Amino acid sequence: MKNNVLVIAVHPDDETLGCGGTILKHKAAGDAVHWLIVTSIKEGNAFAESVLEARQQEIKTVSSMYGFDGVYDLDFPTMKLDEIIFSRLISSISDVFKQVDPNIVYLPFKGDVHTDHQIAFKAAYSCTKSFRYPSVKKIVMMETLSETEFAPSTKEDSFIPNMFVDITDFIDRKVEIMNQYKNEIGQYPFPRSERNIRALATFRGATAGCEHAESFMILKEIN
């Protein structure tokens, strides 16, 4: 049985940073993968029209490079999820869950330093209750460079991976896709740099016993 996967990206590029290699591995295995983008940049939020147009083109390019089976853009304003009525956010995400009917869900880490990530996690996780969304059998949180590693160093906020995916065959393609986000990637030691993406994959690979890996925290798995 093939998997039906839903990847929740609070901002475009989170999907690639957090599980780009895993997405490519799912697609190579013949799984269906759907991309849910929670927020978008807005012209009235200090972004020029040219930047907005460039971002839309980046999203189209990235979607094509992954071969997503569905793309859902909720279009909430970035950096302002705390101003959105929470029930409205839950309802919007729930609608996508009902359309996709996923059995595997990738979420942002609940302790990510970005407030948008924290709010989106809480809303999305509420859409995984088994009695309302019975298709969901596996829920994992992903590690997103520039967000997860800056979480407070306390027990309840620490990212402690218990699932690793060998992405050795896909690391180069992951980097190639990330490079499509021209305004999001920078030079090392900037967290979202090619060198750092490869370094994290190498570090997680060492734990998993492979060349390159992505790491996750499993919240629930029903077999």
Coil, strand or helix: which one is 111?
coil
Reduced to 3 states (helix: H, G, I; strand: E, B; else coil), residue 7 is: strand
What pLDDT, on a 0 to 100 scale, did the predictor assign at position 90? 98
- The crossing angle, in degrees rounded to 10, of helices 115-125 and 86-100 is 60
Residue 132 CB contacts under 8 Å (≥ 6 apart), including other chains: none
| Element of type H or E holding 33 | strand 32-40
Each residue's pLDDT tens digit, 9-50: 999 999 999 999 999 999 999 999 999 999 999 876 667 788
Q: Summarize pLDDT for 148-195 with one digit per residue, the tens.
A: 999 999 998 999 999 999 999 999 999 999 999 999 999 999 999 999
Helices of type H across 82-193? 86-100, 115-125, 171-178
Read off the pLDDT of residues 41-50 as tens digits, 9 standing for 90 and up: 987 666 778 8
Give yes or no for residue 51 having a pLDDT over 90.
Answer: no
Binned at pLDDT 50, 70 and 90, residue 196 comes out as very high
Judged against a pLDDT cut of 70, whether residue 59 lies above it is answered with: yes
Return the CATH class of domain 4-221: alpha beta
Helix 171-178 vs helix 194-208: crossing angle, to nearest 10? 150
- Per-residue pLDDT band for 217 (boundaries 50, 70, 90) equals very high
Please name which of 138, 140, 127, 118 lies closest in space to residue 97, comparing C-alpha atoms. 127
Cα–Cα distance for residue pair 34/13, rounded to 1 Å: 14
The first and second tokens of residue 86, run together, are 């929470």
Q: Residue 148: how many CB atoms within 10 A of its CB?
A: 26
Rounded Cα distance, 145 and 130, in Å: 30
pLDDT at residue 46, rounded to an integer: 64
Residue 44, pLDDT score: 65
Question: pLDDT tens digit string along 84-138?
Answer: 999 999 999 999 999 999 999 999 999 999 999 999 999 999 999 999 999 999 9
The H or E element spanning position 39 is strand 32-40
Provide the pLDDT for residue 50. 84
Please state the pTM of the whole predicted model. Answer: 0.97
Cβ-based burial of 32 (10 A; exposed 0-12, middle 13-18, buried ≥19): middle
Omega prior to 189 cis, within 30 of 0: yes
**In this structure, are residues 107 and 190 in contact, taking their beta carbons and an 8 Å threshold?**
no
pLDDT digits 0-9 by tens, 201-212: 999 999 999 999
Q: What does the pLDDT read at residue 190?
A: 97
DSSP string, 182-198: TTT--STTSSSSHHHHH
Residues forming beta bridges with residue 106, ordered by sequence position: 7, 140
Task: Express each pLDDT in 129-158 by its tens digit.
Answer: 999 999 999 999 999 999 999 999 999 899
Q: Residue 108: what residue type?
A: P
Mapped onto helix, strand or coil, the DSSP state of residue 135 is coil
